[in-house]
Chains A and B, each alone.
Chain A
Amino acid sequence: MEYVIEMRNIRKEFPGIVANDNVTLQVKKGEIHALLGENGAGKSTLMNVLFGLYQPEQGEIYVKGKPISITDPNIANRLGIGMVHQHFMLVENFTVTENIILGKEITTGGRVDLKKAAKEVKALSDRYGLSVDPNAKIENISVGMQQRVEILKTLYRGAEILIFDEPTAVLTPQEIHELMEIMKKLVAEGKSIILITHKLKEIMEACDRCTVIRRGRGIGTVDVAETNPDKLAAMMVGREVNFKVDKTDASPKQTVLKIENLVVEDARKVPVVDGLNLEIKAGEILGIAGVDGNGQTELLEAITGLRKVVRGTVELNGKNITNHKPRKVTEAGVGHIPQDRHKHGLVLDFSIGTNMVLQTYYQQPFSKHKILKFPAIFEKANQLIKEFDVRTPSEHTLARALSGGNQQKAIIAREVDRSPDFLIAAQPTRGLDVGAIEFIHSKLIEERDKGKAVLLLSFELDEVMNVSDRIAVIYEGKIVAIVDPEETTEQELGLLMAGGKKQKAGDRSESH
């Protein structure tokens, strides 16, 4: 059997760490091959070895049966290996065509022939059913479209083997579905795909075979048709994983957060939250489902005092907190696990210990008369590190040096530890592996069971449906429907999120 790509017994060491140890990856022509592993398992390292960014200490690489040493990315490109990056490498104010040909421009008489290039891009796009407008500007097209431009970029450069690095992290459910279709079309046309992911659902849906890495070691390769998500998860984590979120029924009590007729504008003075009403009760998790860009971010910023409320009120435990400063909101009893943990959640260049007191550093016992009390700070940090299983060499390690999952655990530890009456969890599991997700979900439910009100914002429908007790669907800055996760379906939610009317769910809840 000949493989298009064969990496045999790869070993890659970094000072103090073995990132890859005896990993073998064999990709057949025309298949979608999943590379599965937890965060930090060594997937990216392996792909960087294939891409020529790292040199392995041991092992061989064969491309189409021939042994090859890939010493820099140019060689990988020439061999037809292309990478669709997770973070897009696009020039925002260039058109699609300009981006695609960048560095490989078609010229006639020294001038860039954009017309001819656009035609080629169009032809390529049609062939794989990407339906990309070659003349649109990147800044004006959706994230899903931008990703297709990235795909086109690799195809334009003659890629035969495409590596997708966690491509669905930034997509909506619809876009994910479309991407899967595109990938199937690509392999039907003879391309081969390596899909780096830790999402089992995607593997089950689209992949042919799956190679699992755990803590740098190659665990094995399985046929997707002969396995199931439970087995894959067990291979990835090394133990049985519980997918069903264990929780009892909620017993909601008094209203904790009450939002009335809220209007919030974005930077362009467009009302992105437009007359929104919402109530969240003690002892329940309210999930917000919606396509990104329907006012979710602005809603959370308005509640927490980071963005000005134009009209309407926000009440916490009956007290008006509309347009209060962030610190006053925090002190009133709001915990906030922010959407972007690097931008808002952490000061990455502070130690993880000092990040643990980001909301409380000015209070006793962490400071007195404006003098910081480091013993108390680090004692608290160590307690939280233990309690929330934050894996860090020490409390003095820079937050930057931790993996995404551990950074997130640190933020959750900090916010939950203050025991706020109202906890906002915005995309709390974004980019995390199943182990960390399980932990974070259980913490959210634990808070709920303690009688706290929890607001969960997530773009993963599974997560919203599994964790929430009630789901509020947001569309164009309004809550358009509130549904029971037990009774709704992904299709119904998808329809509501796209602005459709709630009919079936209404009928059903009436019949109860």
Chain B
Amino acid sequence: MNLIKGRLFHILVPVVSVLLGLLIGGIIMLVSNYNPISAYAALIDGIFGNGYNLGETIRAASPLILSGLAVAFAFRTGLFNIGVEGQLLVGWLASVYVGIHFDLPKVIHLPFAILAGAAAGALWGVIPGFLKAKFKVHEVITTIMMNYIALYTTNGIIRAYMLAPGERTKDIKESASLASPWLQQLTEFSRLHYGIVVAILAAVIMWFILWKTTTGYELRAVGFNQHASQYAGINVSKNIVLAMAISGAFAGAAGTMEGLGTYQYMTINNAFTGVGFDGIAVSLLGANGSVGIIIAALLFGGLKIGSLTMQSAAGVPTELVGIVIALIIFFVASSYLIRWLTNRFTKGGKI
């Protein structure tokens, strides 16, 4: 009985958070002299209205799923990976490099390019993992710093060795591309690519590693209680490094969504893409679970894509969607508030 209540609550928190976020977002629109009803109508139209919008939503969600998985995987093992953004950038570059410089049949080239991106992300994650395991340096600090190193290093490498006209690399070869004319045609020529398949596969992989393998058992044990893990003969240092590697691999794979899917190249980035940071929000809203993350990523992807229509059709600036997203995060983070509210409504105030 209690267990069901607990589960229900886990689902209830994000749902109520989203509703509250939309509601208060609407109030803010009202105060700012926008019509929330027409704004949300345009938003929904912008997500589901036509094949193109739907395709773009799914496309935008694919890297978000992976960056969300990266954050969640680290979180499940007791680590805060704030470095998803940097791991994503190096993953992006590595996949593009393989995509440009190798000549292989597609069945080998594409997986190779994705794995190269994941490996680069993993490597980028291993460094803070190692520093934590060996010298007890807090991973939040090192991963944040690694983000900046990644941003400027990838830019430097592109500028020095891979530059093509337009502040970017050359296009990758067709054999390494995730792009799918079939999916594009299906969605009125959106940029939808096979990345969503990779993302969902990764979600399954995360669930499987964490809950079905001895490795996942060890990783979670270390995350919850290092002392008991040590007592049980689990190598704590090794598992911290491994957790960061796997988390970084998911983040690197998120980068391949951009490099091999959406863009087919890598640009010199003036600033962070934000996809890595959004992963924190996705993972939070998705309660660190595979299914939750897929749903949360689709929601965030939808809000982002839909906000474009909201601006053009209803004249409401896209920034308001940013506010709605921020509100949703706020409510998830303050789940205590929702617990309190639901208790008020259901039990007449008794806790």
Contact = CB atoms under 8 A, between A and B. Distances in A.
B347 to A, nearest CB: 9
Interface string A151-172: 0000000000000000000000
Interface string B205-218: 00000001111110
A361 interface: yes
B228 A343 contact: yes
Nearest to B350: A15
A362 B239 CA distance: 15
Interface string B191-228: 00000000000000000000011111100110011011
Given A347-B221, A348-B224, A349-B224, A326 B232 contact: yes
B233 A359 contact: yes
A185 B230 CA distance: 46
A115 interface: no
A351 to B, nearest CB: 11
Interface residues of A, number: 31
Interface string A339-378: 0100111111110001000110110000100111000000
B221 A306 contact: no
A346 B233 contact: no
B217 A361 contact: yes
B125 to A, nearest CB: 21
Contacts of B234: 327
Contacts, number: 68
B345 interface: no
A347 B225 contact: yes
A82 B233 CA distance: 44
A397 to B, nearest CB: 8
Nearest to B211: A372
Contact of A361 (B2, B214, B224, B231): B214
A362 B234 CA distance: 10
Contact of B214 (A306, A344, A349, A367): A367
A396 B2 CA distance: 12
A109 interface: no
A16 interface: yes
A214 interface: no
B228 A370 contact: no
A344 B228 contact: yes
Nearest to B5: A15
A470 interface: no
B187 interface: no
B224 A343 contact: no
Size band of the B side of the interface? 20 to 34
Nearest to B6: A398
B1 interface: yes
Nearest to B217: A361
Given A350-B221, A367-B214, A370-B213, A326 B233 contact: yes
A325 interface: yes
Contacts of B213: 367, 370-372
A338 interface: yes
Specify the main secondary structure of chain A where it touches its partner: loop
Interface string A390-418: 00000010000000000000000000000
B230 A347 contact: no
Contacts of A346: 225, 228
A306 B228 contact: no
A323 interface: no
A146 interface: no
Contacts of A358: 221, 228, 232
A193 B90 CA distance: 66
A347 B231 CA distance: 11
Interface string A190-227: 00000000000000000000000000000000000000
Contact of B231 (A15, A336, A354, A362): A336
A367 B213 CA distance: 8
Contacts of A330: 232-233
A344 B231 contact: yes
A359 B232 contact: yes
A350 B233 contact: no
Nearest to A377: B217
B229 interface: yes
B228 A362 contact: no
Contacts of B1: 16
Interface string B222-251: 001101111111100000000000000000
Contacts of A354: 217
Contacts of A361: 214, 217
A60 B170 CA distance: 82
B227 A344 contact: yes
Nearest to A329: B233
B214 A347 contact: no
Nearest to B233: A327
B191 to A, nearest CB: 38
A77 B77 CA distance: 43
Choose among A306, A338, A347, A396 the residue with the greatest number of B CB atoms under 10 Å from its CB. Answer: A347
A345 B228 contact: yes
Contacts of A328: 233
Nearest to A15: B2
A238 to B, nearest CB: 27
Contacts of B3: 396
Given A16-B1, A345-B231, A358-B232, A370 B224 contact: no
B231 A325 contact: no
B212 A347 contact: no
Contact of A371 (B212, B227, B233): B212
Nearest to B216: A372
B233 A347 contact: no
A346 B228 CA distance: 6
A348 B215 contact: no
Residue of A304, A326, A336, A348 most packed against chain B (CB within 10 A): A326
B224 A350 contact: yes
A337 to B, nearest CB: 11
A304 B231 CA distance: 8
A239 B328 CA distance: 56
A2 to B, nearest CB: 35
Nearest to B229: A347
A329 B225 CA distance: 20
A348 B215 CA distance: 19
Contacts of B216: 372
Contacts of A16: 1-2
A272 B203 CA distance: 49
Contact of A326 (B2, B224, B225, B231): B231
A306 B230 contact: yes
B215 A370 contact: yes
A347 B224 contact: yes
Contacts of A343: 225, 227-228
The winner among B3, B214, B231 for most chain A CB atoms within 10 A is: B231
Contacts of B225: 343, 346-349
27 contacts: A15-B2, A16-B1, A327-B232, A327-B234, A330-B232, A340-B227, A344-B227, A344-B228, A344-B231, A345-B228, A345-B231, A346-B228, A347-B224, A347-B228, A347-B229, A350-B224, A358-B221, A358-B228, A359-B233, A361-B217, A367-B214, A370-B213, A372-B213, A372-B214, A372-B216, A372-B217, A396-B3
10 nearest CB pairs, A to B: A327-B233, A326-B233, A344-B231, A358-B232, A349-B224, A343-B227, A347-B225, A370-B214, A367-B214, A347-B224
Interface of B: 1-3, 212-217, 220-221, 224-225, 227-234
